[in-house]
Structure 1
């Protein structure tokens, strides 16, 4: 069997198999059926005029259709741009406009909303999955190579609107191969998917499952017991989550303590650190399950993981570099950090992304020449995470904190300025500052401080208005009305002081 070069090559060896590929509620699809649909979706895109490297935004609920669309865009030589279905109008418009998408794949249920989002954007063709599943299958091969752009995943930074992280086919295949290796994923696995495919962590579950011809079970849950039932009923062997998921399972899922899950081989965490008390509770509730604590960022995918056997010795560590990659720490002076010396965590390897779409200046801040390679023999590009970490004498890393103001809540990266803009747009405030405060369930919660612009403000009404323009995970838990916001000597809002005061109170 030839090695995969393009994303859709992961599916190719299995398209004659009648094994179940995806379970989504009461629906099931085999690898044979998935291969047929991928060819039909790809055929519809090419028939509508898709050309090599055209961007295709995918706005669909996480499920069979979104999974098929991801592989179909690759098959048609396009670039897929998954849009989180929790996003609202302006956010969807920003992504479609920013990446210059020529096509949007959606469902007729979302047709009116998408039409409204695209009202001010020219030259975008909307394709409905209800129609394209009947198109003629594409038969010609893709013209892309592994170095070509495969996907753009939008992620928020500390300032401004979300930026699109560019991932090549080789990036995605490397991430698939690496994670499958250290988790030992095989075709016998049944993977429970609860994370969005617009999140690199969630997308990787789909890709590793398809690569190995495993079965992925897609679940949208409301309560912790929903997850527990799915784990039990589908005999799930692997589950990936963010800290919020583990808090929900250990604190609000009474069924978990009463349910035996002998098939659950492993669980993995990324998207933020898990409190030691939560890890302890998980291990007590799931004594036969391996717990993998991981660290990563979209710009370099996954950087480290802690082997389960090290949990007792290093409960707060993020582990060592993933296979095929190197991770090291650079001090503020640009030197390689000694053990115990904090600095910025830097990632080197095949999962380092291509940078940010149409943002060369932002890209240059994150992707830089290797600081310790001899320039005369040619260096290479590495990824500066912006996260502070420290390494011990045995080479294990520990996360210290973010080196910027970005908020990380429930596994999502949230730009404070984007939330501030939405709160200010209500017209009730003169000044707004948004910060992240510690939260047991979400890791951080979004907290807004605002200076009123006039008469008394009905904060409840304001929050409703903000909720209409932002995804639910971005809406502040509280809008705290204050007389003034503290500033630094340079006249900027003193965010660090705001956080310290509220954490201390």
Structure 2
């Protein structure tokens, strides 16, 4: 008898072992081969000292190995911590150290970065997938101990201040998100989903989990140009694609092949990670014909909050929709009232996808995860998630996104900490003061822009940005470095970020 899944790796139990599960280029895994790789990975982790609840950081290039490492960590009783391979040594070191990873799973192709990054960090064993494949796995080790409320994953995401912080997700959180998304997208075992988003991003991870839950097929893709995505959609007869605003801009503006390629199998596309411009939505509808377009809103701390049904797009092209199944979403004013229709308020999320909070950051957790504002504990009140984002609900119950409430920059689906960018610039020793801000951008939603007071007028701004690319991920590097004599400040001496953004946004849009 097949058990009801309550731990992540249980999703593999019901899969047809002969059916194709994963593809990457010319490499493929059936569900039987996938399950065997997961069991071998789990046994290897346990043989290297992994105990229940230990963290397993995963720093791998896109491919099949990343998938079985995620499920293998779960099967070993561990907590998987996927790390975006675009991150550089300082960010990798921070994440491994912060989560106190017991094991780092990586590739020998990344050893030149990994080994210096982890120098001096005690208690973390590095396992390279090439060696795991060559070794003989122990015959025992993987544990079935655990319940759905146990910690399953830590996803690191940038906040408005400091280095990335880890959002804790239970097995039950992940399974609920899988079930909910599968429900409203109508995903079945017949679907073939194209994966172009990193698994360190909850949006990308959910694609892997929904595929496995339904016994469907996932095609993992890397690309440099839009036409490569179009070919992958066509050649693999893809039925579902998830993207962020930049992807849709690339496909509508930089993929000439899309205009002359029929994609009859593409049943749906989904967007999250930022608002899609109305013009881009119209272009997608014109290019993709009968393909359903789902516009969504989410945050790592609560996974996914809203979606707009495709039939509403023509009437509400700028809306983020209504609450996802099994969840409630409402807006709360600054003074704690339920916002009236048309009145801005902070989006609050209630439901089974609300995370466990931030790893070892109780004060920050308490600011985001709070008691339900309108339900007494004796009346079934529980913890809800305050997004920090301003929304407006219309008379029909549909929400529109107004703006971010925490100063964080959101570019191409990435959440970027201004402080992290500023710290990297200051570490060069070339500036007196720096400020990183997000400016409107038609392709990325926002672009990172740095404003700095240099110590020496002869600074080569472009050379500084190239140097910055060696210490932080490419998507964090400012598009431009603006040199000024002084930064505007508030009466209490703090940098006046709103003025910086307002003055430059006016210039950008004019």
Aligned twin of 1:13: 14
> Which among 305, 308, 313 is matched to residue 307 of structure 2?
305
Give the deviation of 1:112 after TM superposition.
2.7
Are 2:37 and 1:37 equivalent residues in the alignment?
yes
CA contact (8 A) 2:196 2:243 kept: yes
Q: Counterparts of 1:327-346 in structure 2 under 5 Å?
A: 327-346=329-348
TM-score by length of 2: 0.98
DSSP 3-state at the match of 1:255: helix
DSSP 3-state at the match of 2:80: strand
Give the deviation of 1:337 after TM superposition.
1.0
Aligned twin of 2:358: 356
Aligned twin of 2:243: 241
User: C-alpha separation between the residues in 1 aligned to 2:192 and 2:454?
Assistant: 52
Greater Cα offset, 266-275 or 373-382: 373-382
Count of residues in Structure 1 that have an aligned counterpart in Structure 2: 504
User: C-alpha separation between the residues in 1 aligned to 2:506 and 2:360?
Assistant: 41
Q: Counterparts of 1:26-105 in structure 2 under 5 Å?
A: 26-105=26-105
User: C-alpha separation between the residues in 1 aligned to 2:220 and 2:277?
Assistant: 27
> Which among 214, 220, 225 is matched to residue 222 of structure 2?
220
DSSP 3-state at the match of 2:14: helix
Provide, for residues 276-309 of structure 1, a one-character-per-residue CA deviation record: whole Å limited to 9, x for no partner: 0000000000011000000000000000000000
User: C-alpha separation between the residues in 2 aligned to 1:330 and 1:107?
Assistant: 46
User: C-alpha separation between the residues in 2 aligned to 1:130 and 1:138?
Assistant: 21
Are 2:466 and 1:459 equivalent residues in the alignment?
no
Q: Counterparts of 1:104-143 in structure 2 under 5 Å?
A: 104-133=104-133, 134=135, 135-138=137-140, 140-143=142-145
Provide, for residues 74-94 of structure 1, a one-character-per-residue CA deviation record: whole Å limited to 9, x for no partner: 000000000000000000000
Question: Structure 2, unaligned stretches of length 5 or more?
Answer: none
Provide, for residues 15-45 of structure 1, a one-character-per-residue CA deviation record: whole Å limited to 9, x for no partner: x511111110111111000000000000001
Provide, for residues 395-433 of structure 1, a one-character-per-residue CA deviation record: whole Å limited to 9, x for no partner: 111100001110000000000000001111111110000
Aligned twin of 2:268: 266
Give the deviation of 1:144 after TM superposition.
1.1
Question: Structure 1, unaligned stretches of length 5 or more?
Answer: none
Provide, for residues 416-458 of structure 1, a one-character-per-residue CA deviation record: whole Å limited to 9, x for no partner: 0000011111111100000000011111000000001124101
Aligned twin of 1:156: 158
CA gap 1:140/1:495 in 2 versus in 1, 3 angstroms: closer
User: C-alpha separation between the residues in 1 aligned to 2:395 and 2:139?
Assistant: 56
Are 2:184 and 1:189 equivalent residues in the alignment?
no
CA gap 1:463/1:2 in 2 versus in 1, 3 angstroms: same
CA gap 1:225/1:140 in 2 versus in 1, 3 angstroms: closer
User: C-alpha separation between the residues in 1 aligned to 2:367 and 2:94?
Assistant: 22
User: C-alpha separation between the residues in 1 aligned to 2:140 and 2:269?
Assistant: 38
User: C-alpha separation between the residues in 1 aligned to 2:27 and 2:139?
Assistant: 22
Give the deviation of 1:377 after TM superposition.
4.2
User: C-alpha separation between the residues in 2 aligned to 1:352 and 1:270?
Assistant: 17
User: C-alpha separation between the residues in 2 aligned to 1:138 and 1:146?
Assistant: 23
Aligned twin of 1:3: 4
User: C-alpha separation between the residues in 2 aligned to 1:429 and 1:94?
Assistant: 24
Q: Counterparts of 1:388-399 in structure 2 under 5 Å?
A: 388-399=390-401
> Which among 411, 429, 432 is matched to residue 430 of structure 1?
432
DSSP 3-state at the match of 2:218: strand
Are 2:155 and 1:144 equivalent residues in the alignment?
no
Over 2 Å off, 4+ runs: 136-141, 375-379
CA contact (8 A) 1:19 1:31 kept: yes
Are 2:448 and 1:477 equivalent residues in the alignment?
no
Aligned twin of 2:447: 445
CA contact (8 A) 1:36 1:137 kept: no
CA contact (8 A) 2:295 2:320 kept: yes
Aligned twin of 1:501: 503
Aligned twin of 1:408: 410
CA gap 1:259/1:378 in 2 versus in 1, 3 angstroms: closer
User: C-alpha separation between the residues in 2 aligned to 1:436 and 1:369?
Assistant: 32
User: C-alpha separation between the residues in 2 aligned to 1:140 and 1:413?
Assistant: 35
CA contact (8 A) 1:21 1:30 kept: yes
> Which among 201, 208, 211 is matched to residue 209 of structure 1?
211
DSSP 3-state at the match of 1:303: strand
Give the deviation of 1:477 after TM superposition.
0.5
User: C-alpha separation between the residues in 2 aligned to 1:455 and 1:402?
Assistant: 34
Aligned twin of 2:277: 275
User: C-alpha separation between the residues in 1 aligned to 2:207 and 2:140?
Assistant: 26
TM-score by length of 1: 0.99
DSSP 3-state at the match of 2:222: coil
Give the deviation of 1:460 after TM superposition.
1.5
Provide, for residues 203-251 of structure 1, a one-character-per-residue CA deviation record: whole Å limited to 9, x for no partner: 0000000111111000000000000000000000000000000000000
User: C-alpha separation between the residues in 2 aligned to 1:417 and 1:139?
Assistant: 42
User: C-alpha separation between the residues in 2 aligned to 1:459 and 1:49?
Assistant: 48
Give the deviation of 1:139 after TM superposition.
6.2
Aligned residues: CA RMSD: 1.0
CA contact (8 A) 2:46 2:142 kept: no
CA contact (8 A) 2:92 2:117 kept: yes
Give the deviation of 1:375 after TM superposition.
3.5
Give the deviation of 1:140 after TM superposition.
4.9
